[in-house]
Amino acid sequence: MGGAPQRPAKIRIQGLNKVFPAENGDFRALSGVDLHLGDGEFVSLLGPSGCGKSTLLRLIAGLESITSGSLEVDGRSLDGPPAGLGMVFQRDVLLDWRSILDNVLLPVEFAGGRRDDYVTRARDLLVQYGLAGFEDRHPWQLSGGMRQRAAICRALILDPSFLIMDEPFGALDALTRDELNIELQRLWQTTRKSVLFVTHSIAEAVFLSDRVVVMATRPGRIVETIAIDLPRPRDLAIRETASFGRYSAHIRDLFERHGVLRTKPS
Ligand SMILES: Nc1ncnc2c1ncn2[C@@H]1O[C@H](COP(=O)(O)OP(=O)(O)O)[C@@H](O)[C@H]1O
Ligand SMILES: [Mg+2]
């Protein structure tokens, strides 16, 4: 009887299939996907291009509908975008004609909120993310890393309970990416928001996650879910440890077995 209470599920997906109809036969983008994101958990989806990562996020964001199976957010099936969701994409989709402050405030307008009620919070977020003094600049005046920080502030403005992030650091140089990994870990540790994070970097997935969900293509599916039992907070040097290396090697093996990656020179 009893035992530790189960963490409530933020996202629960069972037997999910997604098919895109096409003239020359239907395309199975996702097949038999089971996925669980616990409240306050950090989970990465890791897989090659075309395995359906973005499609899965779009389904969770209520932007597409599932073909079959079940998908629940906070215990409810979706009939549109779920409440309390923040999103960050690889391309930051900031609006060039608006200031950084006004970009951060965009979700407030979409939600029909009062701008004035959120200006202080927006400014505070920009300070926290190293963008103090850039409030009135425009996106084209910022570096890629700064733009992505602004996109994170925008995702946080309505204080979402969960975040979905689609390769948010994929277009950044390696050092900026490292820096943003550290910042994201800090954000997660201080707020305990549930995060579903998409990447195709093995190191990034292992570094950030409680669990890494490894996917393969044709059809897009989950091949294994790996719990990352490394102490937190993690610093970048953890990537040079033996235990980190074992997780990475295991995932590389999985990719090799599923024809995603050839790891040996021929
Ligand atoms: N709206 C759509 N119509 C038809 N095919 C799609 C659509 N969206 C995605 N796909 C296909 O589904 C597959 C998975 O795409 P995607 O989810 O973008 O993969 P990933 O993000 O893992 O690279 C791809 O082959 C893509 O071409
Ligand atoms: Mg994608």
Q: Which of 3-17, 30-44, 76-90, 147-161 has the lowest mean pLDDT?
A: 3-17
Q: Which residues contact 257 (CB under 8 A, 6 or more apart)?
A: none
Report how far residue 143's alpha carbon sits from residue 152's, in angstroms, rounded to the nearest whole number.
14
Say if CB 44 and CB 213 are below 8 A apart.
yes
Report how far residue 35's alpha carbon sits from residue 26's, in angstroms, rounded to the nearest whole number.
24
Q: Is the CB of 49 under 6 A from ligand 1?
A: yes
Closest ligand to residue 55's CA: 1
Q: Could you report the per-residue pLDDT of 188-243, keeping only the tens digit for each?
A: 999 999 999 999 999 999 999 999 999 999 999 999 999 999 999 999 999 999 99
* pTM of the predicted model as reported, rounded to 2 decimal places: 0.93
Residue 124 CA to ligand 2 centre (angstroms) = 31
Test site for ligand 1: of 27, 65, 165, most ligand atoms within 8 A of the Cβ:
27
Q: Which atom of ligand 1 is nearest to the CA of 27?
A: 5
Is pLDDT of 60 > 90? Answer: yes
Amino acid letter, 245: G
Q: Could you report the per-residue pLDDT of 121-156, keeping only the tens digit for each?
A: 999 999 999 999 999 999 999 999 999 999 999 999
Please tell me the residue having the least CA distance from ligand 1 atom 17: 52
Closest ligand to residue 50's CA: 1
Give the mean model confidence (pLDDT) for residues 50-67: 96
DSSP-derived pairing of the beta strands 85-89 and 221-227: unpaired
Q: What is the pLDDT of the chain when averaged over all its residues?
A: 93
Q: Could you report the per-residue pLDDT of 81-97, keeping only the tens digit for each?
A: 898 999 998 877 899 99
Name residues with Cβ closer than 5 Å to ligand 2, which is an ion: 53-54
DSSP letter for each residue of the chain: ---SPPPPEEEEEEEEEEEE--TTS-EEEEEEEEEEEETT-EEEEE--TTSSHHHHHHHHTTSS--SEEEEEETTEE-SSSPTTEEEEESS----TTS-HHHHHTHHHHHTT--HHHHHHHHHHHHHHTT-TT-TTS-GGGS-HHHHHHHHHHHHHTT--SEEEEESTTTTS-HHHHHHHHHHHHHHHHHH--EEEEEES-HHHHHHH-SEEEEEETTTTEEEEEEE----SSPPGGGGGSHHHHHHHHHHHHHHHHTTS---S--
Tally of residues, the chain = 266
Report how far residue 90's alpha carbon sits from residue 199's, in angstroms, rounded to the nearest whole number.
10
Is pLDDT of 7 > 90? Answer: no
Is pLDDT of 4 > 60? Answer: no
Q: What confidence tier does 6 reach under pLDDT thresholds 50, 70, 90? A: low
Please tell me the residue having the least CA distance from ligand 1 atom 5: 20
Report how far residue 90's alpha carbon sits from residue 171's, in angstroms, rounded to the nearest whole number.
7
Q: Could you report the per-residue pLDDT of 8-28, keeping only the tens digit for each?
A: 799 999 999 999 998 888 999
pLDDT of residue 99: 97
Q: Which atom of ligand 1 is nearest to the CA of 56?
A: 17
Q: Is the CB of 215 under 6 A from ligand 1?
A: no
Please tell me the residue having the least CA distance from ligand 1 atom 10: 29
Report how far residue 227's alpha carbon sits from residue 39's, in angstroms, rounded to the nearest whole number.
16
Distance in angstroms between the alpha carbons of the first and the last residue of the chain: 55
